[in-house]
Structure 1
Amino acid sequence: MKVERVLHMNGGDGETSYASNSRVQEKAILKTRPVLHKAVAAAHALSSLSSSSTGAMVVDLGCSSGPNTLLFVSEVLGTVADQREEELAAAAGVGQHQAPSSRRTVQHHVQFFLNDLPGNDFNLVFQSLDMFRKLAVKEKGEALPQYYVAGLPGSFYTRLFPDRCVHLFHSSYCLMWRSKVPEELARETVINEGNVYIWETTPPLVVKLYQRQFQEDFSLFLKLRHKELVSNGQMVLTFLGRKNNDVLRGEISYIWRLLAQALHSLVKEGRVEKEKLDSFNIPFYAPSVDEVRDVIKQSEAFDINHIQLFQSNWDPHDDLDDGDLVLDSVKSGVNVARCIRAVSEPLIAHHFGEHILDDLFEMYAHNVGVHLQKVKTKYAVIVLSLKARRVPKYHGRNDDYY
């Protein structure tokens, strides 16, 4: 399976689309706003100091489609607009008495590149831009900077830009996806029987394969982005991780285990071949904070501005962050199943066929509801802000990109 050909979120804006089932990701963007705003301010300052450009280049890696893509664009534009207002007010306060119109003639623009794999529904994003522009102008008025939006299909595990041109990279809920299933798992020999990810019955060898794939992917990602960032350029990365170092019982493992159980039910009914289940492995790995730190340290390419782990309820419509009570486990099961279907359906359909999808996710919703009735489980989310160093020293990988 070529991940870059198959992996994408469900397109459109229907009931099972990512656009209609991405509130968990929206909450993460809102939660990490202070970190993003600081990075935007730093990136805007860098672009302002540049003698060759009057604008900042900002890239959203793994943009997907739906409202969250333009929510990120809105956050960046809002921060830049607020900075421009402060700069104009400061200039007026130190005796610059030009008319407002003349003070606004030189405007720094923002160039956005929205990146995702080729299967992404870029059309939905572009169809939303006209309404977005109208709302942005209404909200920010003359303070709104000039901005331009372009789509960029391609894997972020490859080079995407020329050297030293990007001021800010952003990625939300993407870097837990691997560039590929570890090669040893992708072969016909079954070594993770009955599982689609890491679980209690997963052999130590398989755990090491997933860990090695994460280390290779994240190291390569850092290397590529450093080449594309200007000196002191910024990155804000938010992705699923683990709260502790217990790989076999990480919070995200339950999500995929409950899906595996639903697939087992279809195997028992004779609707899915056992060999199909045993050969299906999710190209995914949720690291611990320590694992993330280790790879960054080894890269010697970035300084860590901020790193934090926070938790988010499985059910995107459960806004009660305190306590262990799930008010309606059946409804929450359905909500969670819709979210997971929106992000995993293309992978599952490619391997098993589309004919099982409705029944599979109905069973999955039931499994999740039963689980939440016993324990309110939450996602562990890592938010990371990095600054590019001037001279990196890379280790352990050559320049052959995926």
Structure 2
Amino acid sequence: MSTVKDTIKDMFTNHFIPFEVLESFKIADIGCASGPNTFLFMSEVIDTINNLSNQNQNQNQALEISIVLNDLHKNDFNSIFSTLPSFLDRLQEKHGYEFSQKCFISGVAASLYERLQPSKSLHFVHSSSSLHWLSQVPKNLENKGHIYIAKDCLPNVFEAYKNQFYKDFSSFLNKRSHEILPSGRMVLTFMGRCIPEPSNNDCCCLWELLAQSLLDMVSQGLIKKEDVDSFNLPLYTPYHEEVKEIIVKEMSFELEKIVIFKDNWDQDDSDDKKKSGQDIADCIRAVTEQMLVTHFGELFLNNVFKRYAERIANHLKTEKTKFINLTVSLRKK
């Protein structure tokens, strides 16, 4: 979140329209989800703009702020908008009635790989934990016994995933290039990798352990082997140099920086690996359950994730694997 705040501050300090000229500031939060982080992002952005507004001695009236929340149609927008009145009440208490009346929040249900807003209508775009999800599983993928890239996959599996990401990320940049004003900015955070090797444990172990847990259900006769063989995640964790290459080739944005963040799976470094395994399994279940239910049905998922938690706990006893996230800062040309 510090990158978001620093970018917005920099826009008004060095590279963008001064406050005394700008009447409104429009932001898109792409892949907003519907949990606490949705409101955390809005709160941080509004606070940042309010502080900048107060520091501006020439400003006569509060800047209008428009925040567009985007996610897929199945996202729980009802939850967001039912909670919005209390959020606006807190905003009023914090910054006053007049300022709260100049904050406008709306939603757009659509894929982030589609057009979301009119041309040249956005000043700032944010996306977190979304762009590693592909628009689709690569076509004609032969990946039996796995659900993602693994150490013993065929080479064409990696190439298929890489090509799909190249296509999707290029499309994302192209769509946003039409919507963002010149010199507008984007801050994108998503899972990635910091080494070229795509089957390194930091990139794929999490998903391979889930594949092995599904195969455990096959050995018990609870899931069909062909159902596991036909399931693959629409996911790709790109190498940071791949991201740079796509941005340069697409040509709509200047790359300002890429920052690599590394966090241990076992973030509290607890000796209780069983609890850590369960916590990680619960997190992965939250983001994959709908896909798994659609493909396998609900009946045996509790068994799958029980075994998954055990496999993660055993892995943590011998290896400190990391989550790798990339934060990419871009400026519209």
**Structure 1 unmatched ranges of 5 or more:** 1-32, 92-102, 186-190, 320-324, 390-402
The structure with higher relative contact order (CA 8 Å, sep 6+) is 1
Amino acid across the alignment from 2:175: L
Is the 2:147–2:207 Cα contact (8 Å) retained in structure 1? yes
Shift of 1:375: 1.1
For 2:9, the aligned partner's letter is A
Query: 1:234 maps to what in 2?
Result: 185
Q: Displacement of 1:252 after TM fit?
A: 3.0
Q: Please state if 1:249 is matched with 2:212.
A: no
Rounded to whole Å, the distance in 2 between the matches of 1:384 and 1:343 is 22
Query: Counterparts of 1:2-401 in structure 2 under 5 Å?
Result: 33-43=1-11, 46=16, 54-88=23-57, 91=58, 104=60, 106-141=61-96, 144=99, 146-185=102-141, 191-315=142-266, 318-319=267-268, 325-389=269-333
Q: Distance in 1 between matches of 2:153 and 2:20?
A: 52
**Distance in structure 2 (CA, Å) of the matches to 1:289 and 1:243:** 6
Q: Provide the alpha-carbon RMSD of the alignment.
A: 1.8
1: CA distance between counterparts of 2:132 and 2:201? 13
- TM-score if structure 2 supplies the norm length? 0.94
Q: What is the deviation of 1:193?
A: 1.1
Shift of 1:144: 4.3
Contact 1:326–1:373 (Cα < 8 Å) also in 2? no
Question: Helix, strand or coil: the match of 2:125?
Answer: strand
Cα offsets for 1:291-340 (capped at 9, x unmatched): 1111011111111222110112324xx34xxxxx5421100001001100
Decide whether the 8 Å contact of 1:43 with 1:168 is kept in 2.
Answer: no
| Residues in 2 aligned to 1:148 and 1:314: alpha-carbon distance in whole angstroms | 37
Write the deviation string for residues 201-250 of structure 1: whole angstroms up to 9, x where unpaired.
11001110000001111111111101110001100000000121111115
Q: CA contact under 8 A between 2:134 and 2:168: conserved in structure 1?
A: yes
**Paired AA for residue 332 in structure 2:** A
Secondary structure of residue in 2 paired with 1:248: coil
CA distance in 1, matches of 2:20, 2:120: 12
Indicate if the aligned counterparts of 2:120 and 2:181 stay in contact, CA closer than 8 A: yes
The residue identity in structure 1 corresponding to 2:305 is F
Q: Describe the superposition over 1:342-362 as per-residue Cα deviations: whole angstroms up to 9, x where unpaired.
A: 000000000000111111111
Identity %: 36
Is the CA contact 2:201–2:321 (under 8 Å) kept in the aligned structure 1?
A: no
Q: Please name the residue that 1:16 is paired with.
A: none
Check the 8 A contact 1:78/1:144 in 2, yes or no. no
Q: State whether residues 267 and 274 of structure 1, in contact with CA within 8 Å, keep that contact through their aligned partners in structure 2.
A: yes
Following superposition, the deviation at residue 123 of structure 1 comes to 1.0
Tell me which moved more, 108-117 or 37-46: 37-46
Distance in 2 (alpha carbons) for counterparts of 1:50 and 1:234: 20
Q: Distance in 2 between matches of 1:290 and 1:129?
A: 39
Distance 1:118 1:213 in 2: 22
Contact 1:235 1:386 in 2 (8 A): yes
Provide the secondary structure at the position in 2 that maps to 1:180.
coil
Instruction: Using the TM superposition, name which of 155-164 and 40-49 deviates more.
Output: 40-49
Q: Name the amino acid aligned to 2:77.
A: F
**What per-residue deviation string (whole Å, max 9, x for no partner) do you get for residues 172-205 of structure 1?**
01100000011112xxxxx211000000111001
Moved over 6 A (4+): none
Equivalent residues of 1:42, 1:234 under 8 A apart: no
List per-residue Cα deviations over 1:151-191 (Å, max 9, x = no partner): 11000111111111111110001100000011112xxxxx2
In the aligned structure 1, how far is the partner of 2:8 from the partner of 2:276? 35
